[in-house]
Structure 1
């Protein structure tokens, strides 16, 4: 049988990461190519050319999965389509009023977030559904189309439809979309009942608006991508990653792009979960350090999910892997504030002009410049020697910064690393406390272009004793794309107290959600995805009556067949989270949820051949770190042994990153190719 491949691609703001894996779990190729912001597909085409030039047969790619930041960047940059919004009469200001919550409760003068749809592009429609889904005021075609005509004359290219209580009955939204598409086929149309039919009018409307806002641009991108890959012999269907860590077809992603907004960080967590499972680790904190930020997530057997994520200024109600940005990245700019205090980030030099050492016009010192100037990075080995760094430019930028602080260039470089680490610690510790975990019980799994370089410094600061660096850490997000399953979430708003439930009501609604999920899996699998099986997970958002916040409680089939058992599970979870429960209080079932997972064939655990030269230290290098000159061992990753442990300081060089192990840690390699670092003493 001919060898087939899985291709995973993660399009970031600086680089597009590519990984090719065979069905034995071996990495056949890994590379990075500069991203092209105005045409992201061009970086993919360039990567396919490089793969062909290396001798890889791209016609044997069976699975083509990619994630892109196009949607999230479109929102943050506010460069999406001119979008109109149709709402029920009386709700024109829903995007203006929002939740009336202060973004920062200590700042009474915060600026109000401007909505994606200005008020003059919001049109009211005379229709009304009641909370139970029954029709109070019918929808009239003529009046609806008059409202749309006003929007079309104003130049809209997309229309979002969000009517009151459409989560309970999608009839009016579906009819409106049908009439509009018939009259204006050129418009991108989406409805809230299709995007996310959950009670919470503002969040549901906002999700629909975001979907419409980025839909036109995402749809055009997917068309260009699908049309272009055929020239490289790729016959596989294009799949896109989702914020929940799953994948869906490009055709579906074109209609529901809001579900892809947080897919980049989510893909990294899926890749980290894949690595952790094969290393036998259950409790992991991921540490993804790129050019702009550090993203962290918890894996406690499986990734932790959330429905309270943010994209830029906007909350996103759709389920997503819970990833939090906690600090500066490799391109974060160091600067001095008005009272003379050194700061690092949040501004980043990005890819262009990039850090000063990139020699692309950047003048300000960054974290990357600091590592280069201290000797951790080698100028002629960045990206395997494909990109030459200029140490003199880094030194000049650091000296300018040092002059304003009364420090030498090397002292300024060390100060940048210390401040960046302190910033991370200041956000990391309370984050772990809120999640109720002690990070010292977890392994820090580091990836991203800069993650392995800074991970041991972070572990030292926090007190984490074990660090894991996976194979090809700079492309782990792309690996997550290659190993992800089909996955989607479905919701039904019930909002009923346990005492008012009808017989078998929970069972009836959960079975309907399961049918929706299995139908979705069937449609997506028909797009060319091999499945090994289908799983469905059930949960309910529950709370005590009178409370304003819910707990999502996982439920098994016997539990949702028995409301008493479901309530008992809620009491247990409430006790675990808050330390008390109120078993005598009335319990409300707010939302019912089903997550359907189409399991793709799992790759076997990869066994890495023993090092040809057991822990052959290629050279030693003097570095200036922690205020002293240190003789540091330098070794290529391919020479690491499973039998010999090296004590820090050690620098490990590979194509897509540099691993820096300070004194106080020792490292070795496991049988799967992971670098395992442990604190000494």
Structure 2
């Protein structure tokens, strides 16, 4: 028999979250420990050992561990990758600085762009040239390639990224460079754009390949330490990794392309919101994920998260598209909409309250953690407003220091603003809520959605604290708050299928597309995907084909699901998606294909959220003063674990669990449903 327990682990900027699932009866056991930034695997190992010991589970009874991490994103943002070299076609070494020549702020004379990960002296050119269709115009100069590889080796690089012009159409030159590198520098990590991003777009393709090479040795060492630690802890089951598109792959597969894990943690949260929404009968969901460092939003339509092939990291302007390093990787589409619980609040030179983007993270953490932090954070403000209980944070495992929070808020916020500490704390709380609601509304508008019709699913430790006020500002009338919202991303890892997406660039007019050659290419991609999924020990259950298409002459493409490989069906699918996005189609313009994506998925795990019965119904713990309507009022306090199915609660109320607290203002009601969700009706 298979080992009965599965573990999901998510490393966040402040906390590392864990969920232990007993597959025999559906019981879930949650854990939360402070992240150890300088050795992220340590928090994972400590959390796993503690969770198993707490619930009397033997390590050999763990079937596998599924993991998501911010390590890749943090290494790029903080520039903690390895010294990397770049090889490209002669005449193209400066593409990474020229970019697309678009300005993310037209009117800023001092506009900055992120510095390239590879300085110019380590970007070397090789004489060779391919044509757009993959034909060879200039053969590869192998002597020059060897010389360039040796030069980078002597300069001390630990990784090399290779991106040749039009290599997506013909990888022959890049693969020959890989053979030469194996002879000249076998100890240096090598990444080929034709393996990682076989698509058009030289700038984005090169940027993605460089980013992958930059973090690959760092991630490989981390993965080796984590796997060794799990073996020492007695867990013999495999380690799986969550990808940024919501799929799960074996550790060995993820180690080749770590850049595809850049959004793995948030992707787990969206997977959780998908399952939670479906259980509550809400297929259209706005996932609101507010953790310790950031807040993110994602739209789920008809039970399916929106996905994209474009992402940015290390933005100079945190909320401005185009100000970061572009990555061409499959991701669950989400946007950063605001601050997290650990984000630092301050008063700027104009006397306005600003929150973030910097975070107190877990070291030293918010002032109220008592770990040396002195800056006021969102968590400190929520504590002063009575939304958090100092003695029951993390189920009582951590006592919050109210005096330290009040001192930080008084000195850094209240005095400059001329307000009391509580008034200053509410100014921060309201500033954060307003900013997040505005950003989420704009995101929905850009996606041609009416956000009022969505159901809000708040996750993350701080999500339920702020969710009702965010929903009110968005005009959303219904909210579904899951059990264990504070560890939802880790739960989402357990809900995601084993899956992998493969991409191929193919620029061709639809009218002249060689359908037989296309079928052969897609069959090969499917076979490769099936093999990757099989490495995780499961059989493929779903094959999904998507095409990137555009009208001839356009610079951007639209992705559409393709059911049949005939021209009429392909064009109809493209124009249906184009009409949804832009409200019209150009029926007289020819259509061209830009690329194809095949996603191979294993069976979706069947998680019954209502498998474990609710509590006895004796959930009321007492009352606490909380700030509503410009004053402190007496709010009832409930223990969520003791709620009985069907029980209803009216605000003002505070519903506590180990990982988070749901704040119910006056005029709202919450009902505990059969799936252990709290369904909130917002007045």
Task: Give the TM-score taking structure 2 as reference length.
Answer: 0.95
Q: After superposition, what is the alpha-carbon deviation per residue over 1:34-65, rounded to whole angstroms, capped at 9, x for unaligned? A: 22222221112212221332211221111211
SS in structure 1 at match of 2:392: helix
SS in structure 2 at match of 1:215: helix
Larger deviation: 175-184 or 116-125?
Answer: 175-184
Where does residue 657 of structure 1 map in the other structure? 660
Counterpart mapping for 1:169-208 below 5 A: 169-208=170-209
Q: Does 1:416 align with 2:416?
A: no
Structure 2: 5+ residue runs without aligned partners?
315-323
Where does residue 513 of structure 1 map in the other structure? 522
- C-alpha distance in structure 1 between counterparts of 2:359 and 2:44, whole Å: 24
Q: Is the 8 A contact 2:533 2:602 kept in 1?
A: no
Where does residue 258 of structure 1 map in the other structure? 259
Q: Is the 8 A contact 1:253 1:260 kept in 2?
A: yes
Where does residue 41 of structure 1 map in the other structure? 41
C-alpha deviation, 1:412, in angstroms: 0.8
Where does residue 498 of structure 1 map in the other structure? 510
- C-alpha distance in structure 2 between counterparts of 1:270 and 1:509, whole Å: 31
Q: Does 1:674 align with 2:677?
A: yes
1:337 to 322, 335, 348: 348
Q: Is the 8 A contact 1:447 1:473 kept in 2?
A: yes
2:577 to 560, 573, 584: 573
C-alpha deviation, 1:115, in angstroms: 0.3
Q: Is the 8 A contact 2:15 2:33 kept in 1?
A: yes
Where does residue 115 of structure 1 map in the other structure? 116
Where does residue 538 of structure 1 map in the other structure? 545
Structure 1 segments, 4+ long, off by >6 Å, are none
Q: Is the 8 A contact 1:24 1:606 kept in 2?
A: no
Q: Does 1:298 align with 2:281?
A: no
C-alpha deviation, 1:2, in angstroms: 6.9
Q: After superposition, what is the alpha-carbon deviation per residue over 1:271-327, rounded to whole angstroms, capped at 9, x for unaligned? A: 111222222220100011011211000111200011222111211111200011111
- C-alpha distance in structure 2 between counterparts of 1:387 and 1:49, whole Å: 19
C-alpha deviation, 1:387, in angstroms: 0.8
Q: Structure 1 residues 24, 678: closer, same or farther in 2, change over 3 A?
A: farther
Q: Is the 8 A contact 1:608 1:671 kept in 2?
A: no
Q: Is the 8 A contact 2:538 2:602 kept in 1?
A: no
SS in structure 1 at match of 2:635: strand
SS in structure 2 at match of 1:110: coil
Larger deviation: 592-601 or 306-315?
Answer: 592-601
Q: After superposition, what is the alpha-carbon deviation per residue over 1:496-530, rounded to whole angstroms, capped at 9, x for unaligned? A: 222333xxx2353244234323323324423x433
- C-alpha distance in structure 2 between counterparts of 1:523 and 1:596, whole Å: 9
Q: Structure 1 residues 493, 610: closer, same or farther in 2, change over 3 A?
A: closer
- C-alpha distance in structure 2 between counterparts of 1:174 and 1:216, whole Å: 20
C-alpha deviation, 1:178, in angstroms: 1.4
- C-alpha distance in structure 2 between counterparts of 1:518 and 1:471, whole Å: 39
Q: Does 1:404 align with 2:407?
A: no
Counterpart mapping for 1:527-606 below 5 A: 528-531=536-539, 533-557=540-564, 560=565, 562-606=566-610
Q: After superposition, what is the alpha-carbon deviation per residue over 1:85-104, rounded to whole angstroms, capped at 9, x for unaligned? A: 11011111111111111122
Where does residue 361 of structure 2 map in the other structure? 350
1:371 to 382, 390, 400: 382
- C-alpha distance in structure 2 between counterparts of 1:111 and 1:573, whole Å: 35
Q: Structure 1 residues 235, 156: closer, same or farther in 2, change over 3 A?
A: same
Q: After superposition, what is the alpha-carbon deviation per residue over 1:4-32, rounded to whole angstroms, capped at 9, x for unaligned? A: 11111101121111101122462342101
SS in structure 2 at match of 1:630: strand
Q: Is the 8 A contact 1:510 1:594 kept in 2?
A: no
- C-alpha distance in structure 1 between counterparts of 2:590 and 2:2, whole Å: 61
Task: Give the TM-score taking structure 1 as reference length.
Answer: 0.96
Q: Does 1:607 align with 2:611?
A: yes
Where does residue 318 of structure 2 map in the other structure? none
